[in-house]
Amino acid sequence: MSKPLLQVKDVVREYPMPRHSIFSAPKHLRVLHGVSIELNPRESLGIVGESGSGKSTLARAVMGLEPPQSGQVIIQDQDIYALDRTAMRQARKQFQAIFQDPYGSLDPRHTVQRIISEPINSLEGNISATERKARVQEVLEAVGLPPASADKYPHEFSGGQRQRIAIARALITRPALIVADEPVSALDVSIQAQVLNLMMDLQDKFGLSYLFISHDLGVVRVITDRVAVMHLGRIVEEGPTNTVFDNPRHPYTQALVNAVPKPFSGRRKRSKPAGEHVVAVHTESTGQGCAYAPACPMAQAICLQQAPTQKTIQQGWYARCHFA
């Protein structure tokens, strides 16, 4: 079996909180609580959870944008936070990002040619103008845009086309890993399908690995091989995507799956949402027990007293729950 492309080992990330007074001790909000994940070459791993669960913080840590207080982020056998500036620039060619807002992530004052070539201008400064132009044309063709697009500006494209430009920019350095943070949530449903199909085609063509951050379980089911469910900065369940969504073992995963709107015919009566107890998950546990216990319908005394350890359900499928 090949070595993992990405290894996140026990990553802890904290943010300083405002002091109540100049005499009070500084406090910190812990957003990631010892998160560990692995991603293999040519594989897609989805990170799901509601807003505030730590998904985007994890993405920024993987991208080398926010160093953790402890833990390691290893990409292609290199701990990226142990690299010096020169080595980090070389390593960055192997991991790129796609952001949520396709318009906000593109400079409206620059042409598509300049936007797409910006990563190689920064990371491969010795590249010739001829090769730069050829590589821009190559990635434009790969994402289904005509060569003439290179001379236009972002406002001349639709939302789906702008996201294709963002994908082309991510591809220009020929990376092994792409971190996609909610890459289709700002698009219409029909355009979402086109972009997802494009990403899957590009994965096959270029041998890409995706770390796919999303709150949309339907999108994650389509594009990912495995999924990790985050709750309050912890991975509470991880396994093959269809297996986890079809038979979730952690109560929080069950709540997320039940909260997905189901197709129906005719007018339905108002009722209590199946996943309504999810709303309470932002309340931190005050003891040493499970952080989800205050909102969990299955909670018992042990849940308030003892944090659950990772339990193997079957090979490659894990959950952190006393009763999984």
Name the amino acid, one letter, at 139.
V
Handedness of CA 183, 188, 189, 190 (dihedral sign): negative
Tokens 């109540």 map to which residue?
Answer: 20
In tens, the pLDDT along 153-182 reads 999 999 899 999 999 999 999 999 999 998
Say if residue 149's pLDDT is above 60: yes
66 secondary structure, DSSP code: S
Q: What is the pLDDT of residue 126?
A: 77
- pLDDT band at residue 281 under the 50/70/90 scheme: very low
Helix axes 112-123, 85-92, angle to 10 degrees: 140
Q: Which H or E element spans position 44?
A: strand 44-48
In tens, the pLDDT along 15-39 reads 988 888 878 888 888 999 999 999 9
CA 306 to chain centre: 29
- pLDDT band at residue 273 under the 50/70/90 scheme: very low
Which has more confidence, 152 or 280? Answer: 152
In tens, the pLDDT along 195-207 reads 999 999 999 999 9
Q: What is the pLDDT of residue 278?
A: 41
Q: Identify the bridge partners of residue 173 per DSSP, sorted by sequence position.
A: none
Average pLDDT, the chain: 88
Say if residue 319's pLDDT is above 90: yes
Q: Name 206's Cβ contacts closer than 8 Å, sequence gap at least 6.
A: 142, 171, 174
Q: What is the pLDDT of residue 282?
A: 38
- pLDDT band at residue 1 under the 50/70/90 scheme: low
